[in-house]
Chains A and B, each alone.
Chain A
Amino acid sequence: MAKILLEMKNITKTFPGVKALDNVNLKVEEGEIHALVGENGAGKSTLMNVLSGIYPYGTYEGDIVYNGEVCQFNKIKDSEEKGIVIIHQELALIPYMTIGKNMFLGNERGKSAAIDWNETYGEADKYLKMVGLSESSKVLVKDIGTGKQQLVEIAKALAKHAKLLILDEPTSSLNEKDSKALLDLMLKFKKEGMTSIIISHKLNEVAYVADKITVIRDGSTIETMDKHTTEISEDRIIKGMVGRELTDRFPKRQGVKIGAVNMEVKNWTVHHPLYPERKVCDNVSIKVKKGEVVGISGLMGAGRTELAMSIFGQSYGTNISGQLFLDGKEVQLKSVKQAIKNKLAYVTEDRKGNGLVLTNPIKINTTLANLDSISPRKIIDKDKEYQVAVEYKDKLKTKCPTVEQNVGNLSGGNQQKVLLAKWMFADPDVLILDEPTRGIDVGAKYEIYCIINDLVAAGKSVLMISSELPEVLGMSDRIYIMNEGRIAGELSAEEATQEKIMSIIVNSGKGA
């Protein structure tokens, strides 16, 4: 057996209210490619952030043993000095700088007072050749494609004398050909003795490059499979990723009558606002009936949020085409205001970023989307506002001393309730809930599910975007599976299983 390069022992990392990692163990041998797989939020990225020092020593429990010594990294520089280099999913290159400047950012050649540009560009060209790029290092990063940018990131890592290369979803924004090239490069480096960890959702790629696969689920390591001793198939990996029992985490919905179609979207295509040639949603057609909870499942970046926001008064994207029917009538919603007027609501996945005004009290947040209804002649009736806020606080069981409390001081679950209250007060017929239970604890989740059930019982329609498979399965009457901007499949509640959803995603990814 080869030497163990890295061992992470009993790593436990807690965020306020959430245990992100629970006793995780990971062993990586020198010279192998080790894959980390798991659902969104399983803890893969958190684990890598612990390893690279983004979460400094002391903020987690457990030990990192690298190259035979126990390491205590306080910042990224510490881990990079040892040769551990992480390449994040979101590329960290500066578009208006040359490749060479980007590669040696924070790692400049020459003296700190006088950068040696000849050495910079000379070295840069050398590393670019190693990753198979023929571009000059004097080209601006914005002028090369995403695939090549990813390679520049790797060259940058090599320039730091990486011994252990960590790639977080390296192919998520690459096309088939670039992905293949990248994976082959990884195999080439492996022959030269490099050790790599790859995090990926694309199981076919994982099966192609990895020597060992470690499955992480709910913050714990489930198993490690060795390609050389066991047969690894995608089905086998999927089973490891999702194999958990569905218990009574979801309140039952009884006697809700499913009525006529409430919202229908036909041939909906949306282009990226900054790169208009890129289709974010491609010919999507979905419908939601009265009294129905429809789940949209898919991986991050599948285009689900973009779909929802583009429907919601074109608040995202350009060149939006397609038809939208609400209650049987075709409508054109050009602004959020029109969308709200047509009884549509979008409850964002990012409650802090674009859902709530954290520095304002609960009552102001509750009424914000429908302030006119309590403001005769545009003058706010503050008593009415107070009453409304209290009414929703009681209805949703929001835990807070008074509705004068600033939302920023509430827990995540209670913030989510305020956000729901805000949109319920806007009195919509169709609610699009984007990750309605992200980052909140199990108890609060259950309460949110009850609220969703009450909503459909009142004849409303709920379109629920969620990355948590159990949640989608436990709550939905029907499930759409989205991948790479397209609807990859549709399953009824009866026929849907986690394995089926996962394999639909994986198979549609292959076809592209």
Chain B
Amino acid sequence: MNKTLDILRKHTMKIILVLIVIFFSVTTKGQMFAPSSFQALIAQNAYVFILATGMLMCMLTGGNIDLSVGSFVCFVGTVGGMLMVKAQMSVPAAMLLMIGTGVIYGIVEGFLIAYLNIPPWIATLAGYLAFRGWGTALIGGSSIAPMPEGFTKMFNGSVPDFFGGKNINITCILAGVIACVIFVLLQLKGRNDKLKKGYEAENMVSLAVRCVLVCAVILLFAYKLGQANGIPNNLIWVAVIVLIYSFITEKTTIGRYFYTMGGNVEATRLSGIDTKKIFFLAYLNMAVLTVISAWMTMARLSAATATAGNNYEMDAISACVVGGVSAYGGSGTVFGMVIGAALIGVINLGMSLMGIDANWQMVVKGMVLLAAVVFEILNNRDKTKE
């Protein structure tokens, strides 16, 4: 009985996600499972995954957030729009300059926060105000459009089907199958390594269950996306970023320091780790990832607009918190954040399909966020009692 509870507790968010998907597929009479829904889910939420990855790194250092990301999406988008559209600069050069802008902002922000000890929410609140204003002023009321096709395709386009499937994109299915195979092989290898070195390894049944479930999800996506346009480029961007950051957070020393710093700054500092540098890197990294999500936003609208990136910081923070990232720092995983972002994305999509008023959607999202935090705190309190 206790074991079942433990499993339930560990996978709560995933279970809730499944329940919500089921709920919406009933209320939308199956629209939720239409190929176009899968496409929309990715197209509309890609930026959240990118921003939430950066926000995760900031939050790990001690529950610190960056309020300026939404406004910076607008500002850097404006810069990009001016370069690409007004100055007719080549797309790669413009993108490089946008990254450069991000790096400069990241350095300034990181310096203010890490080395001048300005509280993050104040330093980034300044950015929140300034960049929204600056971006809007540069655009001059209207929007800068359209973006070069070469640019929008990098994000909005899909991977072409190399095999010329008629009703279904074969490349997409194949990619899904390969992803499944790789996943299963990695799981088996991990278990084997442990056994070889004589450590306790999980039993075959739970491993098999996990493999089946994960593969089912991957294949479902592959199949549905295959029925539509194939693999969206956005998905590749997201997958690459998510994989890189899972690796950093789980396997590298620097990733480890983000966690220990969030757990206890002084102990980390007195262990010879430059905690200011870690803090600095968190915000530099955030600014760079913000540029990538600005690209996605511009490409989707094919324009730089004054309202671009509105409330994006809130979306990123919500995705982290719902995904189990501690609001006090020190715990949370990239995978958890992905679940959190997916959960919010599904709720958004489902409510839109149901035709719920946008204002009410916000109410629901607010409640979900609150519920997630309350849940986390109650869950931890139970653990300490034991």
A residues 351-393 near B (Cβ < 8 Å) are: 353-360, 364, 368-369, 371-372, 375, 378-380, 382-383, 386
Interface membership of B330, Cβ < 8 A:
yes
State how many angstroms separate the Cβ of A85 from the closest Cβ of chain B. Answer: 34
The one of B256, B266, B273 that contacts A354, using a Cβ cutoff of 8 Å: B266
State how many angstroms separate the Cβ of A250 from the closest Cβ of chain B. Answer: 28
**Given A378-B253, A379-B251, A357 and B270 touching (CB < 8 A)?**
no
Interface membership of B254, Cβ < 8 A:
yes
Task: Give the residues in chain B near A167, CB-CB below 8 Å.
Answer: none
Task: Give the residues in chain B near A368, CB-CB below 8 Å.
Answer: 260, 267-268, 271, 273
Interface membership of A340, Cβ < 8 A:
yes
- Contact between A379 and B252 (Cβ–Cβ < 8 Å)? yes
State how many angstroms separate the Cβ of A512 from the closest Cβ of chain B. Answer: 31
- Contact between A340 and B272 (Cβ–Cβ < 8 Å)? yes
Interface membership of B269, Cβ < 8 A:
yes
Nearest B residue to A346 via CB reads B270
**Distance of A355 Cα from B265 Cα, bound (Å):** 10
Interface membership of A173, Cβ < 8 A:
no
State how many angstroms separate the Cβ of A145 from the closest Cβ of chain B. Answer: 28
- Contact between B270 and A360 (Cβ–Cβ < 8 Å)? no
- Contact between B259 and A315 (Cβ–Cβ < 8 Å)? no
**Distance of A354 Cα from B268 Cα, bound (Å):** 8
**Distance of A364 Cα from B266 Cα, bound (Å):** 15
Interface membership of A337, Cβ < 8 A:
yes
- Contact between A378 and B252 (Cβ–Cβ < 8 Å)? yes
- Contact between B263 and A353 (Cβ–Cβ < 8 Å)? no
**Given A336-B271, A336-B272, A337-B274, A359 and B252 touching (CB < 8 A)?**
no
Task: Give the residues in chain A near B251, CB-CB below 8 Å.
Answer: 379-380, 382
Task: Give the residues in chain A near B360, CB-CB below 8 Å.
Answer: none
Interface membership of B10, Cβ < 8 A:
no
- Contact between A375 and B331 (Cβ–Cβ < 8 Å)? no
Task: Give the residues in chain B near A372, CB-CB below 8 Å.
Answer: 253
Provide the B153-182 mask, 1 if CB < 8 A to any CB of A, else 0: 000000000000000000000000000000
- Contact between A355 and B330 (Cβ–Cβ < 8 Å)? no
Interface membership of B264, Cβ < 8 A:
yes
Interface membership of A422, Cβ < 8 A:
yes
**Given A378-B254, A383-B197, A336 and B260 touching (CB < 8 A)?**
no
The one of B253, B273, B274 that contacts A380, using a Cβ cutoff of 8 Å: B253
**Given A359-B263, A364-B260, A368-B260, A348 and B253 touching (CB < 8 A)?**
no
B residues 322-357 near A (Cβ < 8 Å) are: 330-331
Task: Give the residues in chain B near A355, CB-CB below 8 Å.
Answer: 267, 270
Interface membership of A23, Cβ < 8 A:
no
**Given A357-B330, A358-B264, A364-B260, A315 and B269 touching (CB < 8 A)?**
yes
- Contact between A353 and B256 (Cβ–Cβ < 8 Å)? no
State how many angstroms separate the Cβ of B381 from the closest Cβ of chain A. Answer: 14
Task: Give the residues in chain B near A364, CB-CB below 8 Å.
Answer: 256, 259-260
Total number of B residues with any Cβ neighbor in A under 8 Å: 23
Task: Give the residues in chain B near A348, CB-CB below 8 Å.
Answer: 270
Task: Give the residues in chain A near B264, CB-CB below 8 Å.
Answer: 353-354, 356-359
Provide the B262-293 mask, 1 if CB < 8 A to any CB of A, else 0: 01101111111110000000000000000000
Task: Give the residues in chain A near B252, CB-CB below 8 Å.
Answer: 375, 378-380
Task: Give the residues in chain B near A197, CB-CB below 8 Å.
Answer: none
**Given A360-B260, A380-B256, A353 and B271 touching (CB < 8 A)?**
no
Report the number of A-B residue pairs with Cβ-Cβ less than 8 Å: 80
**Given A378-B253, A379-B252, A380-B253, A357 and B260 touching (CB < 8 A)?**
yes
- Contact between B266 and A353 (Cβ–Cβ < 8 Å)? yes
Nearest B residue to A374 via CB reads B253
**Distance of A283 Cα from B271 Cα, bound (Å):** 27
**Given A368-B260, A371-B256, A354 and B270 touching (CB < 8 A)?**
yes
**Distance of A360 Cα from B267 Cα, bound (Å):** 12
Task: Give the residues in chain B near A337, CB-CB below 8 Å.
Answer: 272-274
The one of A336, A360, A369 that contacts B263, using a Cβ cutoff of 8 Å: A360
**Given A364-B260, A380-B253, A380-B256, A357 and B269 touching (CB < 8 A)?**
no
State how many angstroms separate the Cβ of B191 from the closest Cβ of chain A. Answer: 13
**Distance of A359 Cα from B262 Cα, bound (Å):** 9
Interface membership of A204, Cβ < 8 A:
no
Interface membership of A233, Cβ < 8 A:
no
Interface membership of A335, Cβ < 8 A:
yes
Max count, chain B CB within 10 A of own CB: residue among A339, A357, A358: A357
- Contact between A358 and B263 (Cβ–Cβ < 8 Å)? yes
- Contact between A375 and B253 (Cβ–Cβ < 8 Å)? yes
**Given A353-B266, A383-B197, A369 and B271 touching (CB < 8 A)?**
yes
Task: Give the residues in chain A near B197, CB-CB below 8 Å.
Answer: 383
State how many angstroms separate the Cβ of A417 from the closest Cβ of chain B. Answer: 16
**Distance of A364 Cα from B271 Cα, bound (Å):** 12
Max count, chain A CB within 10 A of own CB: residue among B251, B266, B271: B271
**Distance of A64 Cα from B270 Cα, bound (Å):** 44
Task: Give the residues in chain B near A375, CB-CB below 8 Å.
Answer: 252-253
Task: Give the residues in chain B near A383, CB-CB below 8 Å.
Answer: 193, 197, 199
Provide the A315-340 mask, 1 if CB < 8 A to any CB of B, else 0: 10000000000000000000111011
Nearest B residue to A357 via CB reads B263
Task: Give the residues in chain B near A369, CB-CB below 8 Å.
Answer: 271-272
Nearest A residue to B200 via CB reads A402
Task: Give the residues in chain B near A354, CB-CB below 8 Å.
Answer: 264, 266-267, 269-270
The one of B253, B254, B268, B272 that contacts A357, using a Cβ cutoff of 8 Å: B268
Task: Give the residues in chain B near A380, CB-CB below 8 Å.
Answer: 251-253, 256
**Distance of A383 Cα from B251 Cα, bound (Å):** 12
**Distance of A336 Cα from B193 Cα, bound (Å):** 36
State how many angstroms separate the Cβ of A342 from the closest Cβ of chain B. Answer: 11
**Distance of A337 Cα from B193 Cα, bound (Å):** 34
State how many angstroms separate the Cβ of A392 from the closest Cβ of chain B. Answer: 15
**Distance of A355 Cα from B193 Cα, bound (Å):** 33
Max count, chain A CB within 10 A of own CB: residue among B253, B259, B268, B274: B253
**Distance of A24 Cα from B128 Cα, bound (Å):** 60
Nearest B residue to A340 via CB reads B272
B residues 116-154 near A (Cβ < 8 Å) are: none
**Distance of A313 Cα from B271 Cα, bound (Å):** 11
Nearest B residue to A409 via CB reads B384
A residues 87-119 near B (Cβ < 8 Å) are: none
Task: Give the residues in chain B near A346, CB-CB below 8 Å.
Answer: 270
**Given A354-B264, A357-B260, A335 and B272 touching (CB < 8 A)?**
yes
Nearest B residue to A368 via CB reads B271
**Distance of A411 Cα from B199 Cα, bound (Å):** 26
Q: Shortest 7 CB-CB distances between A and B: which pairs?
A: A354-B266, A357-B263, A337-B272, A369-B271, A336-B272, A340-B272, A357-B264
Can you offer 6 A-B residue contacts whose CB atoms are under 8 A?
Answer: A313-B272, A337-B272, A340-B271, A354-B269, A355-B267, A383-B193
Chain A residues proximal to chain B, CB less than 8 Å: 312-313, 315, 335-337, 339-341, 346, 348, 353-360, 364, 368-369, 371-372, 375, 378-380, 382-383, 386, 422
Known: A355-B270, A379-B253, A383-B197. 20 other contacts (CB 8 A): A312-B270, A315-B269, A337-B273, A337-B274, A354-B264, A354-B269, A356-B267, A357-B259, A357-B263, A357-B267, A357-B330, A358-B263, A359-B330, A368-B260, A368-B273, A378-B253, A379-B252, A380-B253, A380-B256, A383-B193
